[in-house]
């Protein structure tokens, strides 16, 4: 089975990154596996396609994290479009079946270079970086992120944002350092101090990423949810199950506190497909309530991707495009979400992050104000 390019043959870095990940999983030595995974990540996060980095004499520049074994694979792919070296290693590997399974789970993922290409290509409709006024999913030191709320606010201002929401995990998700309600009250004070310092130049909202339980309920009470400016609901469990979970996701989007269905599937590149559901039914319910469907820009998530995004658009959904950053540097992941929105043809008017603050706040207090059906 040949490796499928994510969308067109243009995303050469995604093809190379995929082959290097295959090669990683074909290694018996953990050290070699780690090396090829590192090489794959280095290629996937390059700003420019490898084809543009080649010198006239065919030489590749030095790329940190890329050793001689990876260079040989890259050359093969650039010359022939495929890698016999990797295919042979996969065929010899006793993890062959697992590697083929992982290939299927890399569909519709964009490399960083492809994200930049799509953002710069005027042939696509949809939002540009200039339309994007604020990011509504990120994590601080109050759960599993590293920055303080002050560092987040300064980084967002540096990116030209007018607002953002810090959305740490709720207390039900212990593994991600979920915030207790006592901690949330203390965080609220820290956010108010940020807003006082910003004096109207920028507004930081206090959000929460609530965990969707097996039955579609949230890990906080209605009264607790009401203390936050914005409630995201996201699945973090039962992400490797083959059974249909439509009812679970319908319950989440129908929860009165929820404004954003975040990383709707919980898929992970090359690792898991996430929740299986009748997404048309979920998108219709979200559109009826004015709940935004998220495009999560974490490179390993890209959830929704542009194919499902197009589907949600046809069913009249509104969207949230977020970074899911855990460091201030990762705020750039919002660009991955923007690229998927452009590929899906989602107009800026349907994207809550492209609205002025007043319209965003009006929607947060009354989601039916933005209902499209
Ligand atoms: Zn999450």
Residue 235 Cα to ligand 1 middle (Å): 7
What is the average pLDDT across 9-13? 82
**pLDDT tens, 166-206?**
999 998 888 788 899 999 999 999 999 999 999 999 999 99
Residue 319 Cα to ligand 1 middle (Å): 17
Query: Where does residue 299 fall: left (phi above 0), alpha (psi -120 to 50 degrees), or beta otherwise?
Result: alpha
**pLDDT tens, 83-115?**
999 999 999 999 999 999 999 999 999 999 999
Residue 324 Cα to ligand 1 middle (Å): 8
- Size of the chain, expressed as the number of residues it contains: 373
Decide the pairing of beta strands 292-296 and 318-322: parallel
Alpha-carbon distance 312 to 297, whole Å? 17
Residue 144 Cα to ligand 1 middle (Å): 10
Alpha-carbon distance 55 to 187, whole Å? 51
- Exposed, middle or buried by CB within 10 Å (0-12, 13-18, 19+), for 195? middle
pLDDT computed for residue 2 by the predictor: 40
Where does 240-289 have alpha helices with state H? 246-254, 279-289
Find out whether the peptide bond into 304 is cis, omega within 30 degrees of 0: yes
DSSP 33: H
Query: Where does residue 200 fall: left (phi above 0), alpha (psi -120 to 50 degrees), or beta otherwise?
Result: left
pLDDT computed for residue 172 by the predictor: 85
Residue 346 Cα to ligand 1 middle (Å): 23
Percent helix, percent strand, percent coil in the chain, to nearest 5? 45, 15, 40
Alpha-carbon distance 320 to 326, whole Å? 18
Residue 260 Cα to ligand 1 middle (Å): 12
Residue 272 Cα to ligand 1 middle (Å): 15
Question: Nearest-CA neighbor of 271 among 104, 109, 112?
Answer: 104
What is the average pLDDT across 137-152? 96
Residue 77 Cα to ligand 1 middle (Å): 35
Residue 67 Cα to ligand 1 middle (Å): 34
Alpha-carbon distance 348 to 364, whole Å? 18
Between 60-64, 131-135, 181-185, the lowest mean confidence (pLDDT) is in 60-64
pLDDT computed for residue 316 by the predictor: 97
Residue 361 Cα to ligand 1 middle (Å): 23
**pLDDT tens, 332-370?**
999 999 999 999 999 999 999 999 999 999 999 999 988
Residue 70 Cα to ligand 1 middle (Å): 32
Contacts of 152 (CB under 8 A, 6+ apart): 138, 140, 164, 166, 204, 328
Mean pLDDT of the chain: 94
Q: Is residue 17 pLDDT above 50, yes or no?
A: yes
Are the CB atoms for 254 and 285 separated by under 8 Å? yes
Q: Is residue 1 pLDDT above 80, yes or no?
A: no
Q: Is residue 9 pLDDT above 80, yes or no?
A: no
Residue 192's H or E segment, with its range, is helix 181-198
**pLDDT tens, 245-268?**
999 999 999 999 999 999 999 999
373 band by pLDDT with thresholds 50, 70 and 90: low
Residue 209 Cα to ligand 1 middle (Å): 7
Alpha-carbon distance 43 to 11, whole Å? 11
pTM here? 0.94
Residue 110 Cα to ligand 1 middle (Å): 20
Residue 263 Cα to ligand 1 middle (Å): 7
Residue 296 Cα to ligand 1 middle (Å): 9
Side-chain-side CA neighbours of residue 300 (13 Å): 13
Residue 236 Cα to ligand 1 middle (Å): 6
């Amino acid at each position: 089975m040949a490796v499928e390019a994510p969308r067109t043959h243009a995303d050469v870095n995604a093809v190379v990154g995929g082959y290097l990940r295959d090669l990683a999983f074909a290694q018996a030595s953990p050290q070699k596996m780690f090396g090829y995974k590192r090489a794959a990540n280095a290629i996937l996060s390059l700003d420019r396609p490898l084809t543009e980095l080649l010198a006239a004499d065919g030489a590749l520049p030095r790329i940190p994290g890329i050793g001689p074994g990876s260079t040989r694979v890259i050359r093969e792919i650039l010359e022939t479009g495929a890698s016999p070296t990797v295919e042979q290693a996969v065929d010899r590997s006793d993890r062959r079946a697992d590697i083929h399974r992982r290939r299927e789970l890399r569909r519709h993922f964009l490399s960083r270079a492809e994200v930049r290409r799509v953002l710069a290509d005027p042939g696509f409709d949809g939002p540009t970086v200039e339309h994007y006024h604020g990011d509504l999913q990120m994590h601080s030191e109050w759960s599993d992120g590293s920055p303080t709320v002050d560092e987040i606010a300064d980084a967002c201002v540096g990116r030209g944002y007018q607002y953002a929401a810090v959305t740490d995990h709720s207390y039900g998700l212990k593994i991600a350092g979920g915030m207790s309600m006592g901690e949330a009250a203390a965080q609220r004070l820290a956010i108010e101090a940020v807003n006082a310092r910003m004096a109207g130049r920028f507004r930081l909202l206090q959000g929460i990423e609530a965990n969707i339980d097996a039955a579609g309920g949230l890990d906080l009470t209605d009264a607790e949810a009401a203390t936050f400016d914005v409630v995201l609901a996201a699945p973090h469990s039962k992400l490797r199950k083959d059974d249909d979970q439509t009812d679970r996701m319908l319950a989440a989007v129908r929860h009165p506190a929820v404004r954003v269905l975040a990383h709707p599937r919980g898929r992970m590149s090359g690792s898991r497909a996430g929740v299986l559901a009748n997404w048309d039914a979920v998108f219709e319910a979200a559109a009826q309530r004015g709940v935004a469907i998220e495009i999560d820009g974490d490179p390993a998530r890209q959830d929704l991707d542009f194919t499902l995004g197009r589907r949600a658009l046809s069913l009249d959904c509104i969207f949230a495009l977020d970074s899911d950053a855990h460091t201030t540097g990762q705020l750039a992941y919002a660009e991955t979400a923007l690229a998927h929105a452009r590929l899906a043809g989602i107009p800026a008017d349907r994207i809550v992050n492209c609205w002025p603050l007043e319209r965003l706040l009006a929607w947060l207090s009354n989601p039916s104000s933005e209902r499209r059906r």
